[in-house]
C-alpha cells in the first residue's frame, strides 16, 4: 500500500498518495488548477506551465503536474502573481502561431479557447507573429495543422505511452519547435503510424483533426485517452 | 479640366470614392468609381484544407455571408465530385432566400428609401433611415421588421445570423427542425404584406423620378444571371445566361465550370476592383450587368404567381429588357416577393424534413467552381486543390465586381445629366452617389475587402488641383 502524505492546498488540509503529482492530488480533492498539456493517464511533462503553483519555502512557482507531493507541503494555487503569469502564458500561446478561432474546425470545442475564456484573456498584449506554417494533409484520415499547435506534446505521449507506436516527436528548439512524424516526414508517409487516431483525440486544439470536418465540427474525446490509460493499468 | 471627388460614397457597403472630371467649360467629361480597399482572400486561403473554405470565405462579408457560404460550398461539392442530397440542396436554397429578403430589405428601406421617399435634394442631415422614421414611421418599422424576418430565417435554420457553420461541403450539417418550418411559414404572410406594400409605395413615387430613370445608367448592355432549365428565376442553381439589350440570348445554360470562357477580368490602375467583361465581345465593350434588374431581364418567368404578375407589369412599363439601372430598386422588391413565395413552396415540399442532408467525400477533383445568385448578382467561387485537398489557387468574381463597368458608365451618365461644375450643389452629388446605391454595391465583398462604406467626391481641375470636396464618414 503506497504511503499517504498530508499537505495543505489553499489553506485546506488534504491527503495524497506518495509519488502523486500536486496537480493530481489537487484534482482528487476537487480543486481546479489550470492546465493544457496534462491529460489524466499520460505522464506529466510541464510543457505549458499553466499549472504553476506557489510552494511555501520556494521562491519560484513550480508546475503542479511535475512536482510530486511531499509530507507537510503548503501550496498556494491562486494568487495575483499566478493569475498574471497564466494569462501571459495564454497570450504567448495565442500570439505564437495562427489561432483564428472563428474559422477553426475546433471552434467551440477547444481547450485553449476554453482556458483563455476561463482565465479572462480577451486579447494578446504581445504582437502576433503570424508565422507561415504548413498544413500536413498527407494522411488519409487526419490532418496536422501546425498553425494551431501549442506544442503541448500530448500527441507525442499518447502515441508512445498508450498506442506504443512512437510516431510523434518534437524537432528543433525554442520557437522553431515543430511536431514531426517519424523521421520528420509527411504524416501519410510515416510507417509507424497505426492510424488509431488517439493523438487526434488527445490534442487540445484544432492542430490534429479528422479530415473533412468543417468549421466548429471537430469534437475531441480526451476522456477516451484517460480511460484507455486506466484500462492498461497505468496511473501516471 | 477640373475634377470633382465624392469621398466617401455613403449608404453603400464598403469604401469608395468618385472622381468627376470637368472640361474647361465646367461640363462633365468623365467620371470614375474608385474602390479604395484591398483584402487578399484569394491569396491567404492558399494552403488551407478545402473544407474550411466556406467558413473562411464567408468572412468576406457580413451582409451576405450566406451567398459566399453557398458559392464556396458548391465549389467544394465540385471538388468532392458529389451530388448532394436533394433535401440538403433545398435547405441551402431556403437559407439563401432568408438572406435575399434581409439584404434586399436593407438595401431598399435603410439605404435607398431615404432618397426615394424623402427626395434626392432633401437635407442630407436627415436624408437617412432616421429621417425616414420621422416621415414615414410605419413604413420604416415595416422595413426593419422585414429585414428581421429574413435574418430570423437564417438564424432559426442555421443557428446564427452571420457566418453560421450549418452550410458545409456536401450539404448542410443538420436537417430541418419541423418546429422551425412552422415558425418560418407562419411569418411569411406578414412579410408578404410588407413587401407588397413597399412595392406599391415605390410604384406610386417612381413617376417622380422620370429624369433619374432616364439617366441613371440608362443604356444598352448585356445582362447576366443564372436561370433554371426552363429559363425561370433561380438564385441557388442553374446555368448562366447572357442576354443583350434587344432581348437576344447571347449565351445560355453556361455551366459553372465554363464561366471563364465567357467572363474575363480586366485590371485598371485607378481602382482595386477588377473589371469583368463578356469575353466574346471583349473589354470594355463587353459590359454586362448583374443583380435584380439583370436577373429579371434574362429570365422567361419568375415561376411563382405573385412575382410573375409583377414581372409582367414591370415589363409592360419598361420593356422586355429594362435598361435603366434606377429600376434595380423596383426589381429588388419583385425579388423579395418571389423569395417569400419560393420560401413557402420549398418549406411545403414533402421531402423538406428528410434527414439525409449531407454527402461525405474527400477530395476527388482538383478543380471546382461554385456559382449562385447573391442579392447583388452572380457570385463565382473557383478553387484549385492539390491531391491532399489543400487549396493551391482561388479566384472569386463577386456580384458587385460584375457591375463595375456598368457602375462607371452610370456615374458618367448621371454626372453629365445633373452635375454643373460651375454651380455645384449637394443634391447633384447625391444623385451621383444614388446611382451607385441603385446597384446596391458591396465593395467589401467585391474587393474581398474590409469595412463599411464611407465615400468622398472631389472636384479636380484639369491641372489636377482639388477645387472642391464633399466628404462624409459614415454609411448608416
Q: What is the 3-state secondary structure (H, E, C) of chain B?
A: CEEEEEEEEEEEECCEEEEEEECCCCCEEEEEEEECCCCCHHHHCCCCEHHHHHHHHHCCCCCCHHHHHHHHHHHHHHHHCCCCCHHHHHHHHHHHHHHHHHHHHHHHHHHHHHHHHHCCCCCCCCCCHHHHHHHCHHHHHHHHHHHHHHHHHHHHHHCCCCCCCCEECCEECCCCCHHHHHHHHHHHHHHHHHHHHHHHHHHHHHHHHHHHHHHCCECCCEEEEEECCCCEECCCCCEEEEECCCCCEEEEEECHHHHHHHEEEECCCCCCCCEEEECCCCCCCCCEECCHHHHHHHCCECCCHHHHHHHHHHHHHHCCCCCEHHHHHHHHHHHHHHHHHHHHHHHCCCCCCCCCCECCCCCCCCEEEEEEEECCEEEEEEEEECCCCEEEEEEEECHHHHCHHHHHHHHHHHHHHHCCCCCCCHHHHHHHHHHHHHCCCEHHHHCCCCCCEEEEEEEEECCCCEEEEEEECCCC
Average the pLDDT over each of A66-75, B63-72, B124-133, B449-458 and give the range with the smallest value: B449-458
What is each CA distance from A90 to A63, A80, A116, A123, A175, in whole angstroms?
Answer: 15, 16, 6, 10, 15
Enumerate residues 364 to 393 of chain B having a beta carbon within 8 A of any beta carbon in chain A.
388-390
The answer to whether residue B81 scores a pLDDT higher than 50 is: yes
Q: Across the interface, do B47 and A134 touch by the CB < 8 Å criterion?
A: yes
Q: How far is A187 from chain B (nearest CA, A)?
A: 12
Mean pLDDT of chain B: 89
Q: Is the pLDDT of residue A234 over 60?
A: no
Residue in the structure block whose three cell numbers are 484544432: A206
Phi/psi of residue B2, each to 5°? -115, 170
> Are the Cβ atoms of B362 and A212 closer than 8 angstroms?
yes
Which of A13-27, B8-22, B274-288, B314-328 is least confident?
B8-22
**Residue to substitute from A130, A215, A216, A219, interface B, most B β-carbons within 10 A:** A215
> What pLDDT score does B452 carry?
35
For the segment B362-382, the average pLDDT, to the nearest whole number, is 96
Q: Residue B473 has what pLDDT?
A: 47
Residue A8 has a CB neighbour count (10 Å cut-off) of 14
Question: pLDDT of B140-166, one tens digit each?
Answer: 999 999 999 999 999 999 998 888 999
- The pLDDT of residue B13 is above 80: no
pLDDT at B11: 64
Which three cell numbers, joined as nine digits, stand for A111?
A: 481547450
Whether the pLDDT of residue B470 is over 70: the answer is: no
pLDDT mean over A81-102? 96
Please count the CA atoms within 13 angstroms of the CA of A53 that sit on its side-chain side: 28
Q: According to the model, what pLDDT value does residue B268 have?
A: 85
Q: How confident is the model at residue B181 (pLDDT cuts 50, 70, 90)?
A: very high
Of B55, B169, B360, nearest to A103 by CB-CB distance is B55
Structure confidence at residue B429 (pLDDT)? 80
Residue A216 has pLDDT above 80, yes or no: yes
In the predicted model, what is the mean pLDDT of residues A110-129?
A: 96
Domain ranges (residues) in chain B: 1-37+404-476, 220-322
Q: Which residues of A touch B47 (CB under 8 A)?
A: 134-135
- Is A142 within 8 Å of B388 (Cβ atoms)? no
pLDDT confidence of A54, banded at 50, 70, 90? very high
Contact B388 A105 (CB under 8 A): no
Q: Is B56 on the interface with A (CB under 8 A)?
A: yes
Average pLDDT score over chain A: 95
What pLDDT is attached to residue B308?
Answer: 98
Domains belonging to chain A, first-starting first, are 4-78 (3.10.20.740), 102-231 (3.30.70.20)
Number of A:B CB contacts under 8 A?
Answer: 47
pLDDT at B462: 67
Contacts of A214 in chain B (CB under 8 A): 51-52, 54-55, 165, 168-169, 173
Q: What is the pTM of this model?
A: 0.90
Amino acid at each position: 500500500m503506497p504511503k499517504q502524505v498530508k499537505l495543505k492546498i489553499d489553506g485546506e488540509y488534504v491527503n495524497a498518495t506518495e509519488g502523486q503529482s500536486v496537480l493530481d492530488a489537487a484534482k482528487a480533492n476537487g480543486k481546479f488548477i489550470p492546465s493544457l498539456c496534462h491529460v489524466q493517464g499520460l505522464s506529466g511533462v510541464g510543457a505549458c506551465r499553466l499549472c504553476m503553483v506557489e510552494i511555501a519555502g520556494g521562491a519560484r512557482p513550480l508546475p503542479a503536474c511535475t512536482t510530486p507531493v511531499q509530507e507537510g507541503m503548503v501550496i498556494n494555487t491562486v494568487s495575483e502573481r499566478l493569475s498574471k503569469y497564466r494569462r501571459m502564458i495564454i497570450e504567448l500561446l495565442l500570439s505564437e502561431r495562427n489561432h483564428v478561432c472563428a474559422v477553426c474546425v475546433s471552434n467551440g470545442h477547444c481547450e485553449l479557447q476554453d482556458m483563455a475564456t476561463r482565465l479572462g484573456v480577451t486579447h494578446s498584449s504581445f504582437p502576433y507573429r503570424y508565422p507561415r506554417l504548413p498544413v500536413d494533409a498527407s494522411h488519409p484520415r487526419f490532418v496536422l495543422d501546425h498553425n494551431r499547435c501549442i506544442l503541448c506534446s500530448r500527441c507525442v505521449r499518447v502515441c508512445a505511452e498508450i498506442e506504443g507506436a512512437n510516431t510523434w516527436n518534437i524537432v528543433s528548439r525554442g520557437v522553431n519547435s515543430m511536431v514531426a512524424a517519424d523521421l520528420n516526414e509527411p504524416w501519410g508517409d510515416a510507417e509507424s503510424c497505426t492510424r488509431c487516431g488517439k493523438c487526434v483525440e488527445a490534442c487540445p486544439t484544432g492542430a490534429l483533426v479528422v479530415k473533412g470536418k468543417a468549421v466548429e465540427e471537430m469534437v475531441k474525446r480526451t476522456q477516451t485517452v484517460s480511460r484507455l490509460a486506466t484500462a492498461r493499468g497505468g496511473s501516471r | 479640366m477640373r475634377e470633382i471627388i465624392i469621398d466617401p460614397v455613403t449608404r453603400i457597403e464598403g469604401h469608395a470614392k468618385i472622381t468627376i472630371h470637368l472640361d474647361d467649360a465646367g461640363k462633365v467629361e468623365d467620371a470614375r468609381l474608385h474602390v479604395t480597399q484591398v483584402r487578399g482572400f484569394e491569396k491567404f486561403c492558399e494552403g488551407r484544407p478545402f473544407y474550411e473554405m466556406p467558413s473562411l470565405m464567408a468572412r468576406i462579408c457580413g451582409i451576405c455571408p450566406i451567398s459566399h457560404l453557398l458559392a464556396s460550398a458548391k465549389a467544394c461539392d465540385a471538388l468532392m465530385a458529389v451530388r448532394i442530397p436533394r433535401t440538403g440542396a433545398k435547405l441551402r436554397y431556403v437559407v439563401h432566400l432568408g438572406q435575399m429578403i434581409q439584404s434586399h430589405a436593407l438595401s431598399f428601406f435603410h439605404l435607398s428609401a431615404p432618397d426615394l421617399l424623402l427626395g434626392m435634394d432633401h437635407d442630407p442631415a436627415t436624408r437617412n433611415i432616421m429621417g425616414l422614421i420621422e416621415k414615414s414611421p410605419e413604413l420604416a418599422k415595416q422595413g426593419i421588421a422585414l429585414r428581421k424576418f429574413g435574418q430570423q430565417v437564417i438564424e432559426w435554420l442555421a443557428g446564427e445570423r452571420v457566418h453560421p457553420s450549418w452550410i458545409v461541403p456536401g450539404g448542410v450539417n443538420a436537417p430541418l427542425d419541423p418546429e422551425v418550418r412552422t415558425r418560418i411559414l407562419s411569418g411569411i404572410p406578414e412579410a408578404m404584406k410588407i413587401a407588397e406594400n413597399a412595392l406599391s409605395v415605390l410604384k406610386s413615387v417612381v413617376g417622380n423620378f422620370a429624369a433619374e430613370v432616364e439617366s441613371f445608367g440608362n443604356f444598352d448592355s448585356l445582362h447576366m444571371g443564372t436561370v433554371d432549365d426552363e429559363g425561370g428565376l433561380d438564385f441557388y442553381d442553374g446555368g448562366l445566361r447572357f442576354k443583350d439589350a434587344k432581348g437576344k440570348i447571347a449565351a445560355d445554360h453556361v455551366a459553372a465550370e465554363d464561366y471563364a470562357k465567357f467572363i474575363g477580368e480586366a485590371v485598371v490602375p485607378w481602382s482595386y476592383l477588377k473589371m469583368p467583361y463578356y469575353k466574346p465581345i471583349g473589354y470594355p465593350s463587353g459590359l454586362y450587368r448583374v443583380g435584380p434588374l439583370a436577373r429579371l431581364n434574362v429570365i422567361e418567368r419568375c415561376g411563382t404567381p405573385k412575382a410573375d404578375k409583377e414581372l409582367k407589369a414591370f415589363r409592360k412599363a419598361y420593356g422586355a429588357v429594362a435598361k435603366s439601372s434606377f429600376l434595380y430598386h423596383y426589381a429588388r422588391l419583385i425579388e423579395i416577393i418571389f423569395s417569400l413565395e419560393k420560401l413557402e413552396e420549398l418549406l411545403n415540399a414533402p421531402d423538406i424534413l428528410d434527414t439525409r442532408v449531407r454527402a461525405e467525400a474527400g477530395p476527388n477533383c482538383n478543380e471546382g467552381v461554385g456559382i449562385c445568385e447573391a442579392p447583388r448578382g452572380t457570385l463565382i467561387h473557383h478553387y484549385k486543390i492539390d491531391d491532399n485537398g489543400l487549396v493551391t489557387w482561388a479566384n472569386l468574381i463577386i456580384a458587385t465586381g460584375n457591375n463595375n463597368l456598368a457602375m462607371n458608365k452610370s456615374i458618367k451618365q448621371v454626372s453629365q445629366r445633373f452635375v454643373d461644375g460651375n454651380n455645384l450643389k449637394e443634391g447633384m452629388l447625391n444623385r451621383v452617389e444614388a446611382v451607385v446605391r441603385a446597384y446596391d454595391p458591396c465593395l467589401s465583398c467585391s474587393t474581398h475587402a474590409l469595412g463599411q462604406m464611407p465615400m468622398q467626391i472631389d472636384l479636380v481641375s484639369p491641372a489636377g488641383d482639388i477645387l472642391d470636396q464633399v466628404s462624409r464618414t459614415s454609411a448608416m
